[in-house]
């Protein structure tokens, strides 16, 4: 790290356009947030697709921007010279790096981490409004207020329907106005006293004004409730109907999008710049229609650019994985593992005999099982899996009749014990009454257990790679289990219908799938009466993204390891002296290297 005085550091910071509107004393408050770091030639400041959140201001040296495109080709970008900076977007947005920054001349860099900047702005909110943030970054930063956004997810664009959609529906007030317009005239023409005629005239004006105004107000709020959202992970359509309290959320992962098409039909669409955006997905998800949105071609461009960016990031990660795997295989540690045949050594503790459990331990385990059985939570997160059950309303409807029957039996028993000698109890022999209660309580208890067990056994389980729907009736009457691979899920839609479902926060979730492993289309699967259906929707999509990411990482690892093995074998064949005669003998089935054999680093090659 080079020596840099505080005044020199402040002078460098003041040149940043981001702080051009701040006074010097305010710059002096921000100065401690910056770190000074020296980078050597060939060192990466950050890599493409990394989640690196900081601004980098070059004081000396030079950096170079590199970007891997969707075809896996690394392309050179601009050089970053002293006085220039990169990373302003990362201070305000949670997006992955779109390029890599490598040092081509030893550089001294001032670094402003996002974490430090966020903390400072929380303590000094008045500074945030005076930052000279680029307009596109400011607009994106203000759009991140949707509650369902996940960590690392960023809204790229959101929009409502074009204002034309509102006025088209508001035009319905014109017929109402025409229908109510004759009422005041009729009130004046009726042969009534002046006082009555005037009163009717005023009253007839109310529907003439209220009906159109109410229609316009309802259509306006209904128009404002609907959203079309594009994030860096999915496309979302939220639809709310104010009058019926219905709510739906349709969404599809970006990975399922096959084509994006825009359509503008009619004179008004061309003149006012609105149209439809048709998003085609694979499988049963079909087509999402973003209808009557302003400038649909802009939204189509954003989606296509994000798809290309995602492909480029995957290519960059694959390229980096292959590079590191080659270094590992041709490097010192890997060569010795190769000579040793990469035979895994047995390890770990020896299996031990089962320790006898005490009576207290057995009782505690039994009690935990009972408590777990009567756990009526409708969402249980066990880490490796999430269990959902239907809403408590379904449980209540199921156990209400046997519960009432049990209460009735208890009341009858109490009355029998108190008034056992009075009529009508005296009409029945005491033995008959005893037999009745001894038979009735177990039967009603079994009825209650059957209904509870029927509810408790119906579960929806989200695991790392699968989504299971289990419908199991008591006494082996029915046992159905459906399993969906999360990678085949192409869309998850939520529907909340009516004020009752809105108040009790439950609804249905429809999972749209592509063809299964056998090539058979599985269509749609509905999950009914789900408490917090939006949470189930987010859990499914979150697990799906994690599963896809892990699957892609495994595939890249396999390809990288295979390529690295090929190169290692090729290098060994073309440079046998580097490995020694013992290595050649080992490849031919002879002796292997001892642990004391000389190790070679990648610098030897």
Other CB atoms closer than 10 Å to residue 175's CB: what's the count?
12
Question: Does the pLDDT value for residue 503 go beyond 90?
Answer: no
> Which tokens hold the place of 215?
């229609």
Question: Contact 154/94 with Cβ under 8 angstroms?
Answer: yes
> Which tokens hold the place of 237?
């359509």
- Percent of the chain past pLDDT 90, that is, above it, reads 23
Q: What is the pLDDT of residue 569?
A: 65
Between CA 107 and CA 58 the distance in angstroms is 7
Q: What is the pLDDT of residue 114?
A: 92
Q: How confident is the model at residue 237 (pLDDT cuts 50, 70, 90)?
A: very high
Relative orientation angle of helices 173-180 and 194-224, to the nearest 10 degrees: 180
Rg (CA), the chain: 35
**In this structure, are strands 155-159 and 227-231 parallel, antiparallel, or unpaired?**
antiparallel
Query: What are the structural domain ranges in the chain?
Result: 6-142, 167-224, 324-340+546-604, 366-542
How far out from the chain centre does Cα 248 lie?
17
Question: Does the pLDDT value for residue 59 go beyond 90?
Answer: yes
Q: How confident is the model at residue 442 (pLDDT cuts 50, 70, 90)?
A: very high
pLDDT in tens, 356-391: 556 777 777 777 777 777 888 888 888 888 999 999
Other CB atoms closer than 10 Å to residue 219's CB: what's the count?
20
pTM over 0.85: no
Q: How confident is the model at residue 425 (pLDDT cuts 50, 70, 90)?
A: low
pLDDT in tens, 84-120: 999 998 898 888 888 999 999 999 999 999 999 999 9
pLDDT in tens, 446-478: 999 999 988 988 888 888 888 888 888 888 777
pLDDT in tens, 517-531: 444 445 677 888 998
Question: In degrees rounded to 5, what are phi and psi of residue 524?
Answer: -110, 145
Q: What is the pLDDT of residue 80?
A: 94
Q: Could you please report the per-residue DSSP string of 400-451? A: HHHHHHHHHHHHHHHHHHHSTTSTTGGGS-HHHHHHHHHHHHHHHHHHHHHH
Element (H, E) at 122: helix 114-123
CA dihedral over 18, 20, 22, 25, signed as positive or negative: positive
- Percent of the chain past pLDDT 70, that is, above it, reads 83
Between CA 222 and CA 301 the distance in angstroms is 28
Residue 216: closest CA among 204, 226, 206, 224: 224
Residue 276: closest CA among 288, 285, 286: 288
> Which tokens hold the place of 200?
């009717």
Question: Contact 327/62 with Cβ under 8 angstroms?
Answer: no
Q: What is the pLDDT of residue 159?
A: 93
CATH superfamily of 6-142: Jelly Rolls (2.60.120.10)
Question: Does the pLDDT value for residue 554 go beyond 90?
Answer: no
CATH, range 366-542: 2.30.29.30
Residues paired with residue 62 on neighbouring β-strands, in sequence order: 105
Beginning with the edge strand found earlier in the chain, give each strand of the sheet holding 478-485 in spatial order. Answer: 379-381, 386-389, 459-462, 466-473, 478-485
Q: How confident is the model at residue 350 (pLDDT cuts 50, 70, 90)?
A: very low
Q: How confident is the model at residue 592 (pLDDT cuts 50, 70, 90)?
A: very low
């Amino acid at each position: 790290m080079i020596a840099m005085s505080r005044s020199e550091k402040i002078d460098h910071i003041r040149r940043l356009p981001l702080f051009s509107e701040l006074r010097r004393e305010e710059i002096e408050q921000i100065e401690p947030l910056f770190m000074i770091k020296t980078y050597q030639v060939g060192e990466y400041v950050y890599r493409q697709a990394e989640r690196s959140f900081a601004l980098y201001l070059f004081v000396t040296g030079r950096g170079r921007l590199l970007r891997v495109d969707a075809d896996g080709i690394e392309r050179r970008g601009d050089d970053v010279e002293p006085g220039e900076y990169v990373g302003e977007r990362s201070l305000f947005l949670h997006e992955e790096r779109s390029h890599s920054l490598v040092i081509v001349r030893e550089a001294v860099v001032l670094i402003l981490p996002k974490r430090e900047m966020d903390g400072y702005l929380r303590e000094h909110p008045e500074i945030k409004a005076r930052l000279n943030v680029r307009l596109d970054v400011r607009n994106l930063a203000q759009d991140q207020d949707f509650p369902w956004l996940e960590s690392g997810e960023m809204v790229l664009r959101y929009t409502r329907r074009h204002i034309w959609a509102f006025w088209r529906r508001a035009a319905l007030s014109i017929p109402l106005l025409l229908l109510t317009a004759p009422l005041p005239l009729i009130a004046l023409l009726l042969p009534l006293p002046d006082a009555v005629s005037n009163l009717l005239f005023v009253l007839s004006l109310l529907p003439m004004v209220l009906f159109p105004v109410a229609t316009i107000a309802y259509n306006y709020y209904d128009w404002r409730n609907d959203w079309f959202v594009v994030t860096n992970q999915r496309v979302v359509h939220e639809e709310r109907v104010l009058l019926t309290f219905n709510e739906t959320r349709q969404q599809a992962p970006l990975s399922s999008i096959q084509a994006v098409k825009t359509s503008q039909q009619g004179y008004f669409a061309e003149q006012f710049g609105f149209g439809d955006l048709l998003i085609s997905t694979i499988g049963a998800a079909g087509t999402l229609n973003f209808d009557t949105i302003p400038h649909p071609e802009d939204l189509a461009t954003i989606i296509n650019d994000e798809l290309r960016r995602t492909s480029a990031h995957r290519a960059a990660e694959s390229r980096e994985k292959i590079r590191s795997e080659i270094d590992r295989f041709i490097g010192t540690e890997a060569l010795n593992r190769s000579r040793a045949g990469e035979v895994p050594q047995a390890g770990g503790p020896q299996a031990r005999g089962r320790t006898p459990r005490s009576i207290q331990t057995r009782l505690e385990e039994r009690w935990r099982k009972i408590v777990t059985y009567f756990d009526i939570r409708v969402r249980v997160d066990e880490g490796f899996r999430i269990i959902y059950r239907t809403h408590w309303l379904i449980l209540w409807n199921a156990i209400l009749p046997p519960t009432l029957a049990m209460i009735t039996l208890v009341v009858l028993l109490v009355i029998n014990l108190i008034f056992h000698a009075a009529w009508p109890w005296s009409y029945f022999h005491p033995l008959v009454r005893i037999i009745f209660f001894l038979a009735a309580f177990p039967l009603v208890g079994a009825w209650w257990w059957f209904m509870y067990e029927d509810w408790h056994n119906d579960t929806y389980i989200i695991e790392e790679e699968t989504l299971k729907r289990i419908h199991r009736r008591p006494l082996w009457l029915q046992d159905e289990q459906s399993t969906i691979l999360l990678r085949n899920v192409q869309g998850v839609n939520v529907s909340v219908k009516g004020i009752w479902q809105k108040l009790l926060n439950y609804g249905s979730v429809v999972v749209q799938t592509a063809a299964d492993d056998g090539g058979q289309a599985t269509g749609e699967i509905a999950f009914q009466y789900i408490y917090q259906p939006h949470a189930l929707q987010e859990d499914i999509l979150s697990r799906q993204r994690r599963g896809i990411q892990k699957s892609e990482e495994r595939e890249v690892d396999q390809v990288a390891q295979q390529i690295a093995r090929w190169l290692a074998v090729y290098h060994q064949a073309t440079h046998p002296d580097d490995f020694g005669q013992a290595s050649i003998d080992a490849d031919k089935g002879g002796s292997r290297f001892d642990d004391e054999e000389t190790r070679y680093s990648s610098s030897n090659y």
